[in-house]
C-alpha cells in the first residue's frame, strides 16, 4: 500500500513545481514529467516505518499531502498543454491513479504518526510505572493517543496509586514469611492451657519444616521460590491458597503484588498491540 514519508527534503525536490525562477520556461517534456511522477510515486511508496520517523506530526503530514496534490495538479496541467501522444496519455492515466490513491496515503500516514507517538508514550508510561509511585501524567499522554484501548483504560485507576516494584515486594516478603507462619501456628493452637502455651510460643519461635507440602510452611516456601524466579504470578497464586488467618497476614502484600502484576501485564499487552500495528 502507498505511504507518505515524514521527511520534507525529498518532497521539496518534487512538489509543488511552482517555485521556478521568474521568467524561466518550465520543462514540459514527457520525459521530465515522467521523471517527476516517478519521484512522487517513490515518496508515496515510502515504507511505513520511514514514514513515521519524522517529528512534524499530523500537521506536517497534512502539509506534505497538500504539496503532493499540488505537484500532481501541476504535472496534469502541463500534460494538457502537450500534443496528445500515447506517452502523454499514459502519463495522464498515471497522474489520475496517483490522485485517487492520495487520500488513502494521507490516512495511513496519519495512522503511522499516531502509532509512532504512541510508541514513545508507552515507553514513557513503562518507565514511570516501574517506580512504586503514581504515573498519572504518563498514563494521560497514552490515553490521549489510544482513547479506545481497553488496556489503557484498565491502567487508569492503577496509575493513580502505582504499585511497589518487584524488588520491593521481594524484600517485604523476606520480612513477612515468618509472620505468615506465626499466624498459621496460632490458628492451629488448641484450646485450654496448652493451647495458650502453643500460641505464646508461636509468637517467638518459628521452626520451618522442609517438604511441608500444602501446609502454610510449604506454601510460603514455594512462594519464596517463585519470587526468586521472578514469577510474581505463581507467588500470588500460592499465597491465595493459604488458610484464612495466615492469609490475612499476607493480604496487604498480595494486594500490592496483584497491582504490580496487573500494571506489568497491561503495559506488555499495549506494547504487543502496537508492535502488530
pLDDT in tens, 215-253: 888 999 999 999 999 999 999 999 999 999 999 999 999
* pTM of the complete model: 0.58
| Residues 172 and 255 occupy one common structural domain | yes
Domain count, the chain: 2
Does a structural domain hold residue 79?
Answer: yes
**Which of 37-51, 89-103, 163-177 has maximum average pLDDT?**
163-177
Q: Classify residue 40: in a domain, yes or no.
A: yes
11 has pLDDT over 50: no
Cα separation, 260 vs 39, whole angstroms = 51
pLDDT for residue 17:
39
Task: Give, in order, the Cα–Cα distances in Å from 22 to each of 25, 63, 73.
Answer: 9, 24, 20
Confirm whether 132 is domain-assigned: no
Residues 108 and 184 in one domain: no
Which of 101, 118, 135 is the last residue in one of the domains? 118
Residues 96 and 172 in one domain: no
Instruction: Examine the pLDDT at 164 and tell me if it is beyond 50.
Output: yes
- Average pLDDT of the chain to the nearest whole number: 73
Position 150 pLDDT exceeds 70: yes
Higher-scoring residue by pLDDT: 66, 224: 224
Same domain, 175 and 255: yes
Report CA Rg, the chain: 33
Residue 214 counted as domain residue: yes
Domain-located, residue 128: no
- Give domain status of residue 82, yes or no: yes
Tell whether 176 is covered by a domain: yes
Residue 111 within a domain? yes
Of 165, 164, 56, 163, give the one whose Cα is nearest residue 113: 56
Q: Which domain holds residue 219?
A: 166-260
Q: Percent of the chain, pLDDT > 90?
A: 31
Q: Of 94, 118, 142, at which residue does a domain stop?
A: 118
pLDDT for position 114: 66
Amino acid at each position: 500500500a502507498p505511504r507518505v514519508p515524514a521527511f520534507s527534503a525529498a518532497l521539496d525536490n518534487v512538489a509543488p513545481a511552482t517555485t521556478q525562477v521568474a521568467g524561466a520556461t518550465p520543462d514540459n517534456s514527457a520525459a521530465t514529467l515522467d521523471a517527476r511522477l516517478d519521484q512522487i510515486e517513490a515518496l508515496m511508496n515510502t515504507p511505513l516505518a520511514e514514514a513515521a520517523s519524522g517529528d512534524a506530526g499530523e500537521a506536517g503530514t497534512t502539509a506534505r499531502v497538500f504539496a503532493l496534490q499540488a505537484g500532481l495538479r501541476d504535472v496534469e496541467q502541463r500534460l494538457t498543454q502537450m500534443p496528445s501522444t500515447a506517452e502523454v496519455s499514459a502519463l495522464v492515466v498515471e497522474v489520475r491513479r496517483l490522485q485517487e490513491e492520495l487520500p488513502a496515503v494521507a490516512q495511513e500516514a496519519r495512522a503511522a504518526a499516531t502509532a509512532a507517538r504512541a510508541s514513545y508514550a508507552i515507553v514513557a508510561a513503562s518507565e514511570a510505572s516501574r517506580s512504586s509511585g503514581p504515573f498519572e501524567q504518563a498514563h494521560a499522554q497514552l490515553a490521549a493517543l489510544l482513547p479506545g484501548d481497553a488496556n489503557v483504560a484498565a491502567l487508569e485507576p492503577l496509575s493513580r496509586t502505582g504499585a511497589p516494584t518487584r524488588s520491593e515486594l521481594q524484600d517485604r516478603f523476606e520480612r513477612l514469611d515468618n509472620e505468615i507462619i506465626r499466624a498459621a501456628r496460632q490458628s492451629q493452637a488448641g484450646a485450654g492451657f496448652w493451647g495458650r502455651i502453643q500460641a505464646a510460643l508461636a509468637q517467638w519461635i518459628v521452626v520451618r519444616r522442609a517438604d511441608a507440602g500444602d501446609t502454610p510452611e510449604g506454601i510460603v516456601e514455594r512462594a519464596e521460590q517463585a519470587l526468586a524466579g521472578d514469577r510474581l504470578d505463581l507467588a500470588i497464586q500460592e499465597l491465595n491458597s493459604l488458610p484464612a488467618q495466615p492469609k490475612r497476614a499476607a493480604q496487604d502484600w498480595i494486594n500490592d503484588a496483584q497491582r504490580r502484576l496487573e500494571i506489568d501485564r497491561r503495559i506488555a499487552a499495549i506494547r504487543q498491540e502496537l508492535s502488530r500495528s
